[in-house]
Structure 1
């Protein structure tokens, strides 16, 4: 099982939209996919658990609670459904109180689940703690959506420091796919200027993902309807968003395949 973590310590940067579409991309490829929602707000859980009469294949089978990944009690999961969800719940808010236990538990649970799935997609909360660190401990590949507003860019260094902490605890490097500009406005001089500043300040071109997701209503509609944006056939704006998302996901999938 390859595990892709979508992480940023800032909220509202498009993590859940990207994580959902990553899962749907691999479901469409007939892969066995486990989605883990570590954000107690549960937006991804609400989307994946919602019945989708248009295309029921995009709905995930609930197989337990994500909070149980941080418990020593072994998770028992029916391996039959190809697309499964470990759902968010309020219990996630208690995970940070027992950091050491939580980190040991998620590594054991993750190893136990690994033979059952091809891909695991983990959506993370917008604050650093045991849940985020646990996700980084078990991930194979990490991608970080970022906004190009001034206040959102301030968290990039914190994110890179968190990665360094996780790598030290892991005893090795994790595969950082890059910072992905999200909700990008091409007509915004601030966004263009901040992008240029970010590239200069990073000093390492490979830290910036070679694509972006624009600010588009199509993504909001897709998540609201519980299906991939490329499946929305009734408006041209969604078609543009669908092509853009397909491009980004194709780049992610190629990098994952090459580095697996």
Structure 2
């Protein structure tokens, strides 16, 4: 059984890419087969995992346009995940998709052809609610929303939930919200705790635990082309993602029971 999770937040800088890379590495540590999908034309996930986006010949954009198969684009990164990479040419593909038939379903169709090779597919969505993000929501079973534990960070959550609702109603009836993952969390402050309480009460969303601590180690890891589990494996940030991964595995085992 393959579980596809879209990691979504239209606000940039909230830890989407860090979450995809770190959670993927944590699942690999637990013996899982993991495919990461970089849907952001900026190629942040691709770069973070040690691949220069400018050196990529085949991207997820080519796959979405139907000129290449997913197998043609997949690369293996040092932390053991497989990756469908991205670069700036994906923005051109996004523009072309606007007028293409089945644009919302193209990622799902492409991933269906390789899903049997993986236990988990994690999709790093761009910081917009456009064609690429809707395609990710159409392909996923679950949505994970990384959210910086600061007051202004959750202002766009309502708009995101509206998009998820529309996708569930018209395209993907099986889509469910896994929850909000607090990132850049400083547990010493009452403010961070208050933000999480406000999110829970305002949007009635599950909070994925543990929250991800605020640390410079997350910024340092991409410079080495690894996740934090590869660069600082005993750090509290790495351990937090291991616990989130364990929760995903336990949740799937419970659902299968």
Shorter-chain TM-score tier:
0.7 to 0.9
1:63 Cα offset (Å): 9.0
Q: Which residue of 1 aligns with 2:66?
A: 72
Structure 1 unaligned blocks of 5 or more: 52-61
1:1-260 superposed matches below 5 A: 1-50=2-51, 64-73=58-67, 75=69, 77=71, 83-94=81-92, 95-96=94-95, 98-99=97-98, 101=101, 102-202=103-203, 204=204, 206-232=205-231, 239-259=235-255
CA distance in 2, matches of 1:137, 1:28: 28
Q: 1:161 to 1:105 in 2, by over 3 A?
A: same
The TM-score, its normalising length taken from structure 2, stands at 0.83
CA distances 1:102-153 after superposition (whole Å, capped 9, x unpaired)? 2232232122222233321110101110100000001122211011322211
CA distances 1:158-178 after superposition (whole Å, capped 9, x unpaired)? 111111011012351313210
CA distance in 1, matches of 2:110, 2:224: 32
Moved more, 30-39 or 132-141: 30-39
Q: 1:3 to 1:161 in 2, by over 3 A?
A: same
Q: Is the 8 A contact 2:35 2:82 kept in 1?
A: yes
Q: Which residue of 2 aligns with 1:54?
A: none
CA distance in 2, matches of 1:152, 1:233: 27
How many residues in Structure 1 have an aligned counterpart in Structure 2? Answer: 245
CA distance in 1, matches of 2:4, 2:83: 14
Moved more, 148-157 or 240-249: 240-249
CA distance in 1, matches of 2:70, 2:157: 37
Q: Is the 8 A contact 1:34 1:85 kept in 2?
A: yes
1:199 Cα offset (Å): 2.2
